[in-house]
Amino acid sequence: MTRPFRVAVVGAGPAGIYAGNILRTRAAEAGIDVRIDLFESLPAPYGLIRYGVAPDHPRIKGIVTSLHDMLADGAIRLIGNVEVGADVTIDELQSLYHAVILATGAQRDAVVDLPGLDLRGSFGAADFVSWYDGHPDVPRHWPLEATQLAVLGNGNVALDVARVLAKHPADLLTTDIPDNVHAGLVASPVEDVHVFGRRGPEDIKFTPIELRELGEVPGVDIVLYDEDFDRVSEEVSTGERRAAGNQAKVMARILQSWRDREPTGAPRRLHLHFWHRPVEILADAAQGEAVAGIRFERTEPDGQGGIRGTGEFVDYDVQAVYRAIGYRGTPVRDVPFDERAGVVPNDGGRVLDDGEPVPGLYATGWIKRGPVGLIGHTKGDAGETIEKLLEDHALLAGAERPDEDAITEFLTDRGVRYTTWDGWLALDAHERALGDGFAGEATRERIKVVPREEQVAISNREVIAR
């Protein structure tokens, strides 16, 4: 009797779940009996959908429904609260499975060379997003003390950060925002949030839906500056640039509609600035080396599709700076890692060590190609990796591997309190019940449980210590 082909997928975000689902479909078509275990370092699944998307994005979070369906029938086994590289090493995992797919994503802020980066009040967007999404491994308190803030970046994460900072907390109560986050935002004295991009308005990386939602935030005025729209790139003005696609045209119309608006006198303002390259975060030594401002060099088109500095510098008085300029992959212990690119080196998904494929080790998602593209792009990416894995099936399947109980026995013997799909369903139901029990004017779908220990205890039906 042929033993099943056993595969471990590390990371239960969209990349990992898509990889598992595509593998089981294509394996079935090829007549391969595959058994898939999906490992997650957190007690709950869904990765950046749960811990990387702003809480007021219900349409994006609707992706959870399709991810749920991929896991609900039990064909892919979820094993949560397991840190691969610590609770179980890569070598141990490879001894238990014929193949291992890494889908660990990009969870760190991109490296940036900017004087003043270490000042009090200088933050990376990744940490702030983790805080407002209730990630169990970040502090429960965030120092929201500034009235004037700067957000660096012209992508969707920058807009999420700016919107959460500017939005009135009462308008977030219909989301799954954790109680500690709501309390922190209530205490925030913020008045002005400034978003800065190095390029012009025609080069913004936002999606139209993100941009449109920004203008629908109650009690917040959007402020634009005419001088930023006067610096139209030569390619655009001379017609040398390819005609803008529909998406760019939609965003241009949105921006123009905001320019035509009259200020309402709202208590909070969200400013969009373009053609600003950050030069230095300025310090206030009297406040213990805290952020006191930020200096920019104004930029302009260089005529070749890039930008250049103008030699004109401008300072803004702010008390906090949030860097939303991209993410960077997180290494897995004992797995090759390209520190410069922030990815696991690979060839189409086959992990490489000194240029040679590591037998049975694969990568998909942002840890494979870097943090680019939207969530849906991970499907095509996973398809390429699974194709490589199935090409290698004959070489890998001959190795002797233990049965499916070996990993759970291994974790139990090591004292790892792992969670399961049934455990997630219990936690999900608990959070929804907390939302139903909320005594207030807003209707809350759920209230996230934040502490890891409490998540594990609820998932495993343990008594919660108070």
The residue ranking higher by pLDDT, 372 or 20, is 20
Confidence category of residue 237, pLDDT binned at 50, 70, 90: very low
Check whether 435 has a pLDDT greater than 80: yes
pLDDT at 216: 85
Q: What is the mean pLDDT of residues 183-212?
A: 91
pLDDT at 243: 42
The residue ranking higher by pLDDT, 243 or 168, is 168
Check whether 234 has a pLDDT greater than 50: no
pLDDT at 465: 52
| Rounded percentage of the chain residues whose pLDDT exceeds 90 | 71
In sequence order, which residues have a C-beta less than 8 Å from that of residue 340 and are 6 or more positions away?
none
pLDDT at 239: 44
Check whether 88 has a pLDDT greater than 90: yes
pLDDT in tens, 17-72: 999 999 999 999 999 999 999 999 999 999 989 998 888 886 776 788 889 999 99
Q: What is the pTM of this model?
A: 0.91
Confidence category of residue 145, pLDDT binned at 50, 70, 90: very high
Check whether 242 has a pLDDT greater than 70: no
Instruction: Report whether 383 contacts 24 (CB < 8 A).
Output: no
pLDDT at 441: 64
